[in-house]
Amino acid sequence: MQAIAKPDKSAIFKNKVKTWFSQPQNIILLLFGIVLTFSTVAPIIAIVKDTFSIHPGTIDQHLTKKVSGYTIVNYIDLFTSRLARANLWTPLLNTVILSVLTCIISILFGGLFAFLVTRTDMKFKKYLSSIFIFPYIMPQWTLAVVWQHMFYSNKVTGTSDGLLAAIFHVYFPNWWCQGVFPSAMVLGLHYAPFAYILIGGIFKNMDANLEEAATILDTPKWKIMFKVTLPMIKPAILSTILLVFGSAMGSYPVPHYLNLTTLSTKYISMNSTYTGEASILAIIMMVFGVLILGMNQMSLKSRKNYTTVTGKSGQLTKLTIGKMGKYIVGIVFILITFFTSIWPIVLFALETFLPNPGDYSFLYTGNLAHLTTKWWVTNENVTENGMYGQSGILYNNTIWHAFFGTLFLAVVCALIAGTIGTLIGYAVAKKRRSKWANYVNNVAFLPYLMPSIAVGAAFFILFSNEHINLFNTYTLLIIAGVVKYIPFASRSSLNSMLQISNELEEAAVIMDTPWIKRMTRIIIPIQKSSIISGYLLPFMTCLRELSLFLLLCTQGFILSTTLDYFDEMGLYAFSSAINLILIVTILVFNTLVNKLTGASLDSGIGGK
Amino acid sequence: MKKKVLSAILTFTMVVTALAGCGNTAANTAPAGDQAAPAADAPADTAADSAAPAAELTGIDAIIAEAETMTMEELAAKAIEESNGKTFYGVGNSSRGKSALPLFIEYLQSIDSSYSMEFEWQQPKNNKIFEQLTSDSLKSEGTFAMTLIQDGNQIQSKMVDTDILKTFIPKEWAEANNTSADSYEGFLPLQTLNKVFMYNSTGSATYNNCWDFVYDGAHPLFMGVDSEIVGKNFLMMLTEDKYATWLKEAYDKLDDTKKAYFEPTIKAMQADANDLGLGANGAYALAWIKLWVNSYNEQTDDGPICNTLVDASAKDQAGLLVYSKLRSVEESATVSVNNIKVAAYEDGYTGIGGYGYCHYLFLTKNSPLPWTSCAFIAFMTCTEQGFEAWGKDMGGYSSNPKVAEEIEATFHHSQGGGDEFPAKNDRGYDWWTTNGELILEDPVYCSEVSFSVGSWIDVLDHYTPGE
């Protein structure tokens, strides 16, 4: 009998470990799993802790008669005091209504536009596709300010007359001017490009044979739409809801400017006297983020059902909307996008030449002498003539310092978030059945679903203590930005990596090609467009992000806080100029990337 | 299943950490004993500290005590010695600290031409200045050397009661105010700013009494008590006996129709006034506050309020805003300073004309450059050049009478609008605080009533346009 040699368990273990570490995806998942757990969970813990802390000079000190320590009095007071309705329930209800309405508006507007661009023979697609994403490029509250300038009136809102009231004596009702409707409209328009890109992507690639089969079977068009087309874009609609709901919930500036009390605005207003209770509001917003993550999981499961149905037929037939119809619909959308995309820019440009903020007297009088260049060319510190001690835009150090600071921040955030997100997407795609990979994927995505204002608050609390105080530093902004924007890149990367067959990389492995070379020569070139989107989206979002950074730095540090400062001060010429600078910057970068790499935000839908 | 695992991990981690935090409480917060003293006790402790003989003081307190006996020149010499070649970090509610610092450096360079100092001036938003100073105070040596800060209520309860900020009284400032550092009580104000009632006069509405701003149908523009806490301090101050009496006196001068309109509200407030322990005229104050909160039209800032009021289309609209905003209006076809009137300047106007609040100056308790901070504070409060960043505009009044005189002699704010724009002829601090019936913020009173009157204000309904 031949003796069977006992296996050396430690050698096997060592071998397993060696094999495990020889796979880069394992290292990526292990490393980022730990880092992201900390970067996501630590701020949550910090803010949870803050809800129990006693803050001197606030309600918890008054109620506990203590100047330090921990208590649950903030919870009791928030949920049960006379102010519970004003401080919690009404803002919560408003927030949910705002988020739901924003989702509906963005999906209807963006989805309809996506359908027209991808599935019909509508004219002017290339122009419309480019112009449609403008509201997403602009900081969201600037549309709110434009709304004020257009529709406010002394008669209804008790302010000076806006353009329509002053010129045409048209007075819009208050529900149109302030509150939930205009807030939802502004946010809906701002996020409609999300719906356009996501739904458009599916419309563009969906299998037309299914609809054709239904047509051959003499199925009515409405039935095809509801039984075939809509179910196929359901995952994209769900994705849009997931992305837009959390973003709308965490929006501070739009409801602030349009006079709607939400959890975000309440967080800011309560922070001075009800500090601990404000942190509970942030926790509530975060809970919504976790709930949305759960919904996302469910939608992912259901999405599988649909993706198995599709198979590219390459016979995408376009609905004919008539010889005249294709022009009429195109022109209608040119008009609509003029008011959502071009008109705000025209107003921004005009504003920088008005003698006083919002003073359109040159329009009423027809006298161009009422325009001025003082907002651009004043080269001294004067307080008269509306300058409030500010130098003109061209000479304003605050604006230009903030501009370069923002550029630096956006570039660094995009590079780090884009790279980490791409690696995570790659690793998760490789280990798609692993629970750990799924955890890393979720923990990376969670910050995106948490309202920005709550994430900002959490990072502020985490990094303002006796050991470390990073307030008003680029380090803090970069950390917050990276954590918040990794999901852009990780999702974009994951979706594209899942499309790549393993055999491609396996062939390279057999050839003993190093991992770096496999990535740079095979994987990245194949999915270049999606990966670049993973860098572009954080860059663009970071450039005009306010809610996330509002609590982390002073005004003048970055452009969005500077813009908000000028808007709040009523110095619309400066804020408008900053808007123009932002829009031009984003367009320049988008064009550059487009020229260099062929990728752009709306590429693949109607942009190209 | 996966989401359950994730949720469980997150929940477990949060709960464990929160509980761990609770567990550490007793051990971590020992220094102040059981720290169960009511807030009202804290100022007494602080006062006791500052009253201690200079010889017993240590650290920053000793430096302040010594600095309070020194002249501007002596402080400047100390500052040069301490901060030459260093960076000075300041934080404040006013952006003009940034304008004052280069002038201060110039002044020091006039004494020692080799002197140089870098500086950074931060202006946080949304009340973050208090959190920023609190977290900075936890370090052994802070980042911020000093601060210029508003909102007496929060300063008292969050900064002074907690010993985070230290008051330094410059010798020359004390002398100019006929006091001394030892006998002066309170914070050191750089200046008083006033927010005054104005109304658009292109229509037919008249505002002859401060009660007219809360009369039926009036919806004055105001920043709102939540967005700027000094506005809430103003409302709380109205309940102090002196100012409640002013409101009662103004009420007495109303005609019978208006009295009949306000009377039910005043009567309804009597019980609340008793509950809150207010004086004899407390009900008048509460009635005015209730009607004000029920009716003001909230705006994001005084800038947009000013832009609105000076526009011809804002007929009959009123507002309560920083007086100095008028300086920045450019005349055009539809916009003019003459489209508004400052209520208190009008003949026959009765009652409060607005409210005043201060920008206060403090050293941080762990100031990295205490001598330089003292010198800078003395420079701003005791020299015309130091106050010029604020003094060049109307509506900001130096707390140093000598500096105020010099500023007026240089800039002639009392004639700033001439005959053409009478609303811009600033009548000055003395007029506003007497004839103008300006309500002045008292930090101690505000912090005392912050959670009695303050909480009462919090539950009042706010006006929404269109309702």
pLDDT in tens, A396-413: 888 999 999 999 999 999
Inform me whether the pLDDT recorded for B215 exceeds 50: yes
User: Which pLDDT does position A472 carry in this prediction?
Assistant: 85
CA angle centred on A264, ends A259 and A265, rounded to 5°: 35
Q: Do B335 and A65 touch (CB under 8 A)?
A: no
Residues of B in contact with A268 (CB under 8 A): 126
The Cα of B156 is separated from the nearest Cα of chain A by a number of Å equal to: 8
Q: Which residues pair with B320 in a beta bridge?
A: B197
C-alpha–C-alpha distance, residues B231 and B305, integer Å: 14
A15 touches chain B (CB under 8 A): no
| CB–CB contact A44 B14 (8 Å) | yes
Q: Say whether B383 sits in a helix, a strand or coil.
A: coil
Contact predicate A70/B20, CB 8 Å? no
Give the per-residue pLDDT at A311: 42
Radius of gyration of chain A measured on its C-alpha atoms: 26
Q: Is the pLDDT of residue A569 over 80?
A: no
Subunit contact A44:B127, Cβ cutoff 8 A: no
Please tell me if residue B303 touches chain A, with a CB cutoff of 8 Å: yes
Q: How far is B143 from chain A (nearest CA, A)?
A: 9
Touching check for A80 and chain B: CB below 8 Å? Answer: no
Kindly report the CA angle at B388 between B387 and B392, in degrees rounded to 5? Answer: 125
Provide mean pLDDT across the span B164-169.
Answer: 97
Going by pLDDT thresholds of 50, 70 and 90, the confidence category of residue A315 is low
d(CA A118, CA A236): 15
Q: How far is B216 from chain A (nearest CA, A)?
A: 14
Pick the more confident residue, A591 or B392: B392
- Band of pLDDT at residue A323, cut at 50, 70 and 90: confident
Q: Are B315 and B288 within 8 A, CB to CB? A: no
Per the DSSP assignment, residues forming a β-bridge with B118 are B87
Q: Label residues B167-176 b or e (16+ Cβ within 10 Å = b).
A: bbbbbbbbeb
Report the distance separating Cα A297 and Cα A274, nearest Å: 35
Contacts of A220 (CB under 8 A, 6+ apart): none
Residue A462 in contact with partner chain B when CB distance is under 8 A: no
pTM: 0.82
Q: Do A156 and B227 touch (CB under 8 A)?
A: no
Whether residue B24 is predicted with pLDDT greater than 60 in this model: the reply is no
pLDDT at B21 over 80: no
Place of tokens 């020569």: A521
Task: List the domains of chain B with CATH numbers.
Answer: 57-190+358-413 (3.40.190.10), 194-355+424-458 (3.40.190.10)
Search chain A and give the residue with CA nearest B154.
A57
3-state secondary structure of A242: helix
Residue B301: its chain A contacts at CB < 8 A?
Answer: 568-570
Determine whether B131 is exposed, middle or buried from the number of CB atoms within 10 Å of its CB (0-12, 13-18, 19+).
buried
Q: Is B30 on the interface with A (CB under 8 A)?
A: no
Answer whether residue A600 shows pLDDT above 90: no
Q: Is the dihedral of CA A116, A121, A125, A128 positive or negative?
A: negative
> How far is residue A454's CA from residue A267's CA, in Å, rounded to a whole number?
9
Which structure tokens are listed for B30? 């020992």
pLDDT at B25: 32
Contacts of A355 (CB under 8 A, 6+ apart): A361, A370, A371, A372, A374, A386, B330, B331, B332, B335
Nearest residue, CB atoms, A271 vs list B10, B127, B454: B127
Binary contact (B307, A70; C-beta < 8 A): no
Question: A178 to chain B: which residues are within 8 Å by CB?
Answer: 464-466
Residue A189 predicted with pLDDT over 90: yes
C-alpha span between A371 and B332 (Å, rounded): 10
Question: Per-residue pLDDT for B213 more than 90?
Answer: yes
pLDDT over 60 at A534, yes or no = yes
Nearest to A56 among B157, B308, B455 (CB): B157
Helix (H, G, I), strand (E, B) or coil at A53: strand
**Cα A54 from Cα A51, distance rounded (Å):** 8
Kindly state the tokens that stand for A89: 């329930």
Average pLDDT of the segment spanning A126-131: 90
Output phi, psi for A34, to 5 deg.
-70, -50
Range in A307-316, A367-376, B72-81 the model is least confident about:
A307-316
Residue of higher predicted confidence among B252 and A453? B252
CA pair distance A428, A450, nearest whole angstrom: 22
Contact criterion met (CB < 8 Å) for A67 and B157: no
Residue A384 banded pLDDT, cuts 50, 70, 90: low
Q: Is B354 exposed, middle or buried (0-12, 13-18, 19+ CB in 10 A)?
A: buried
List the beta bridge partners of residue A464: A469
pLDDT given for residue A300 in this prediction:
62
| Cα(A357)–Cα(A354) distance, integer angstroms | 7
How far is it, in rounded angstroms, from Cα B2 to Cα A438? 8
| pLDDT for residue A94 is more than 60 | yes
Judge whether residue B51 has pLDDT over 60: no
Place of tokens 């409707």: A181
By the CB < 8 Å criterion, does B208 face chain A? no
CB of A459 closer than 8 Å to CB of A479:
yes
Q: Using the beta-carbon criterion (under 8 Å), do B464 and A570 form an inter-chain contact?
A: no
Q: How far is A79 from chain B (nearest CA, A)?
A: 15
Task: List the structure tokens of B340.
Answer: 């508004």
Comparing CB atoms, the residue among A45, A165, A555 nearest residue B13 is: A45
Q: Does B311 touch chain A (CB under 8 A)?
A: yes
Check residues B108 and A67 and name the one with the higher pLDDT.
Answer: B108
Is the model's pLDDT at A382 over the cut of 70? no
Q: Between residues 386 and 445 of chain B, which touch chain A (CB distance below 8 Å)?
A: 392-393
Nearest CA to CA, how far is A497 from chain B (Å)? 22
| Residue pairs spanning A and B at CB distance below 8 A | 255
Residue B9 has pLDDT above 50, yes or no: no
Give the separation between CA A200 and CA A195, rounded to whole angstroms. Answer: 8
For B313, the closest chain A residue by CA position comes to: A160
Rounded CA separation B294/A289 (Å): 35
* Element (DSSP H or E) covering residue B200: strand B188-200
What are phi and psi for residue A335, nearest 5 degrees?
-65, -45
Tell me what pLDDT residue A302 has: 55
The minimum CA-CA distance between B327 and chain A, rounded to whole Å, is 6
Taking all residues of chain A, what is their mean pLDDT, rounded to a whole number?
86
pLDDT tens digits, one per residue of A18-48: 888 888 889 999 999 999 999 988 988 989 9
- Residue A290 pLDDT: 85
Which of B:73-92 have CB within 8 Å of A?
A: none
pLDDT band at A383 (very low <50, low <70, confident <90, very high): low
CB contact under 8 A, A355 and B454: no
Q: Is A299 near chain B, with CB under 8 Å? A: no
CA A330 to chain centre: 28
pLDDT of residue B311: 92
Q: What's the pLDDT score for residue B19?
A: 37
A278-287, A327-336, A349-358, B24-33 — which is least confidently predicted? B24-33
Complete DSSP assignment for A285-303: HHHHHHHHHHHHHHHHHHH
Residue B245's closest CA among B435, B428, B437, B433? Answer: B437
Chain A residues touching residue B317 (CB < 8 angstroms): 154, 158-160
Contact B328 A387 (CB under 8 A): yes
- Please check whether residue B13 touches A, CB under 8 A: yes
Q: Do B329 and A386 touch (CB under 8 A)?
A: yes
Q: What is the mean pLDDT of residues A162-191?
A: 93
In DSSP notation, A519-552 reads IIIIIHHHTHHHHHHHHHHHHHHHHT--TTTTTT
Residue B228 confidence class, pLDDT cut points 50, 70, 90: confident
Q: B38 touching A, CB under 8 A?
A: yes
In order of A232, B172, B335, B429, the CA distances from B341 in angstroms are: 64, 38, 13, 19
Per-residue pLDDT tens for B357-388? Answer: 999 999 999 999 999 999 999 999 999 999 99
- Residue A471 forms contact with B (CB below 8 Å): yes
Question: Length of chain B in residues, anyone?
Answer: 467
- How many Å apart are CA B165 and CA B150, to the nearest integer? 13
pLDDT (tens digit per residue) in A103-115: 999 999 999 999 8
Q: Rounded to an integer, what distance in angstroms lies between the CA atom of residue B429 and that of residue B333? A: 33
Q: Is the minimum CB–CB distance between B18 and chain A shorter than 8 Å?
A: yes
Give residue B431's identity as a one-letter amino acid code: W
State the DSSP string of B409-466: HHH-GGGSSTTT-GGG---HHHHHHTTT-EEEP-HHHHHHHTTTHHHHHHTSPPP-TT
Within 476-515 of A, beta carbons closer than 8 Å to B belong to none
Statement: residue B331 has pLDDT above 50: yes
Yes or no, beta carbons of B315 and A435 under 8 Å apart: no
Whether residue B11 lies within 8 A of chain A, CB to CB, comes out as no
In this complex, which of A82, A359, A570 lies closest to B334 when CB atoms are compared? A359
Q: Round to whole Å and give the CA distance between B283 and A248.
A: 43
Percentage of chain A modeled with pLDDT above 90: 36
CA A352 – CA A215 distance, rounded (Å): 55
Question: What SS3 class is residue B198?
Answer: strand
Q: Which residue has the higher pLDDT, A307 or B319?
A: B319
d(CA A565, CA A572): 10
Provide the residue type at A31 as one letter: L
Q: What is the structure's pLDDT at B23?
A: 35
CB contact under 8 Å between A381 and B2, yes or no, is: no
Select the residue from B10, B141, B219, B329 to test the A interface by mutation, using most A Cβ atoms within 10 A.
B10
The CA distance from B41 to B161, in Å, is 9
| ipTM field | 0.77
Give the pLDDT confidence score for residue A2 in this predicted structure: 56
Question: Residue B53: what residue type?
Answer: P
Question: Which of A47-51, A214-218, B185-189 is predicted least confidently?
Answer: A214-218
Q: Could you tell me if B339 lies within 8 Å of chain A, comparing CB atoms? A: no
Q: In this structure, are residues A159 and A212 in contact, taking their beta carbons and an 8 Å threshold?
A: no
**Chain A residues closer than 8 Å to B226 by CB:** 269-270
Q: A498 pLDDT band (50/70/90 cuts)? A: confident
Residue A304, Cβ neighbours under 10 Å: how many? 9
Confidence of residue B242 (pLDDT cuts 50, 70, 90): very high
Residue A213's pLDDT band, with cuts at 50, 70 and 90, is confident
Q: Which residue has the higher pLDDT, A380 or B67?
A: B67
Residues B229, A272: C-beta atoms closer than 8 Å: yes
What is the C-alpha to C-alpha distance for residues A465 and B21, in angstroms, rounded to an integer? 14
Tell me if B14 and A48 make a contact (CB, 8 A cut-off): yes
Interface touch A570/B304, C-beta < 8 Å = yes
Classify residue B330 by its DSSP letter.
P
User: How far does the CA of residue A294 sit from the closest CA of chain B (Å)?
Assistant: 6
Choose, out of A356, A365, A441, A561, the residue to mutate when testing the contact with B (most B CBs < 10 Å). Answer: A356
What pLDDT is attached to residue B365?
96
Burial class of residue A280, CB neighbours in 10 A (0-12, 13-18, 19+): buried
Cβ(B321)–Cβ(B302) below 8 Å: yes
Mean pLDDT of chain B: 87
The pLDDT assigned to B55 comes to 54
CA A275 distance to own-chain centroid: 27
Expressed in angstroms, the distance from the first to the final Cα of chain A is: 74
